[in-house]
Structure 1
Amino acid sequence: MDTREAYTKMITAYPGGWLAMAAALGMTKDALENRVYERKGQQINVHTAMQLQAFSQTTLFAEAISQESGGIFVKLPDLNECDHEELLGKFNQLYAELGQLSEKFSHHTQDGRIDRREKKDLTNTSQQIHRTVQELMILTFAIYCPREAESEKGRE
């Protein structure tokens, strides 16, 4: 996902869509469209992108920047509510995602080639697996290394 796609998804995720988001940002719909589609030399600046993300209650801007930078975005789980059941749930989620990747791989490679759409699909699935693994490790350390987690909180 590139930043423009993230902007449009955040805008459509906001109740009322383009008109409501433009009003929330203090601009007209045309002004917002000009910035998103980079008309007349206009662009979305980082501050506005962060506002879009906050208003839409998503992490799409962070995800797009991470992907464009060659990485992935991992939203940290709420450690106040972590327990063994949540950890088990993450493992189950990981198993399901690995199954999806295996199924997609089999399907997309049947003809001996992977096209652009298939590559994007496999990449998105693998990036979700990376996020799940990172969330799993964060939960694991929060449960099984509680002293470290407390000392790290004190440094913030």
Structure 2
Amino acid sequence: MSRRQSYLKMIKAFPGGWDAMAAAMGITRNALENRTYERQGQTMSVDKAMQMQVFSDTALFAQCIAIESGGVFVMLPAPHEIDNEALLSKFNKLYAHIGLLSRRFNEATEDGEIDKRERADLAAIGDEISRHTQELLALTFRIYCRSDDEKVEA
């Protein structure tokens, strides 16, 4: 997803669309369009994009930046929403994806070559494994690691 696509999706997600988003941001619709479409030398600042993300109650800009940076964006639940049972569920999903990757790898390499479709499939499964692993680790650390404020001085 490009930055422009993220801007357009955030505007669409905001109740009232273009006019309402522009008003919420304190600019005119024309100014919002110019920044979105990069007309007349105008661009969307990171602050304005983040403001749109908050107003649209999405993570679209963060997802776009993560993709541009070669990564993935993972929205984490609040610490009080997760427990050991939820962590176990996430481990099970991770195991399932690893099993799926193994099966698809065997199917893709059966003929000695990985074609474009097979490569995209394997990459997508690999991305899911990476996303699940990072989410699992982040949640584990949120639950089981003391914050800097709570650390006992040695």
User: TM-score, length-normalised on structure 2?
Assistant: 0.72
- Provide the secondary structure at the position in 1 that maps to 2:116: coil
Query: In 2, are the aligned partners of 1:34 and 1:40 still within 8 Å (CA)?
Result: yes
Q: Which moved more, 1:19-28 or 1:67-76?
A: 67-76
- CA positional deviation for 1:150: 1.8
In structure 2, the partner of 1:152 is 148
Query: Offset at 1:42?
Result: 0.8
Counterparts of 1:125 and 1:21, CA distance in 2: 36
Conserved in 1, the CA contact under 8 Å of 2:76 and 2:139?
Answer: no
Instruction: Note the residue ranges of structure 1 that are not aligned, 5 or more in a row.
Output: none
In the superposition, the TM-score normalised over structure 1's length comes to 0.72
Which residue in 1 is equivalent to 2:116?
114
Report the secondary structure of 2:24's partner residue: helix
8 Å CA contact 1:7–1:36 kept in 2: the answer is yes
User: Relative to 1, partners in 2 of residues 1:124 and 1:41: Cα closer, same or farther, differing over 3 Å?
Assistant: farther
- Number of residues of Structure 1 aligned to a counterpart in Structure 2: 146
Q: Distance in 1 between matches of 2:103 and 2:30?
A: 43
**Quick one: which amino acid aligns to residue 88 of structure 2?**
L
1:30 CA displacement: 2.2
CA separation of 1:123/1:33 partners in 2, compared to 1, >3 Å: closer, same or farther?
farther
Alpha-carbon distance between aligned partners in 2 of 1:12 and 1:128, rounded to the nearest angstrom: 27
Note if contact 1:104-1:122 (Cα within 8 Å) is conserved in structure 2: yes
> What secondary structure does 1:150 align onto?
coil
Deviations, residues 13-68 of structure 1 (Å, cap 9, x unaligned): 11122221111112222221111110111110111011011111112111211211
| Equivalent residues of 1:13, 1:56 under 8 A apart | yes
Residue 84, structure 1, aligned to residue 84, structure 2: yes
The 3 A distance-change label for structure 1 pair 77 and 17 is: same
Q: Does 1:44 align with 2:44?
A: yes
Shift of 1:125: 5.6
Deviation at 1:81, TM superposition (A): 2.9
- Amino acid in structure 2 at the alignment position of 1:136: L
**Distance in 2, Cα, partners of 1:102 & 1:16:** 46
Does the CA contact (< 8 Å) of 1:22 and 1:32 recur in 2? yes
Separation in structure 1 between the aligned mates of residue 97 and residue 148 of structure 2, nearest angstrom: 31
Greater alpha carbon shift after TM alignment, 92-101 vs 23-32: 92-101
Going by fraction, where is helix more abundant, 1 or 2? Answer: 1
Match of 1:26, as an amino acid? Answer: G
Alignment of 1:50-69 (within 5 A): 50-69=50-69
Q: 1:58 to 1:151 in 2, by over 3 A?
A: same
Give yes or no for the alignment of 1:14 onto 2:10.
no
Amino acid at match of 2:134: Q
| Alpha-carbon distance in structure 2 between the residues aligned to 1:102 and 1:12 | 39
Q: Give the C-alpha shift of residue 76 in structure 1.
A: 3.4
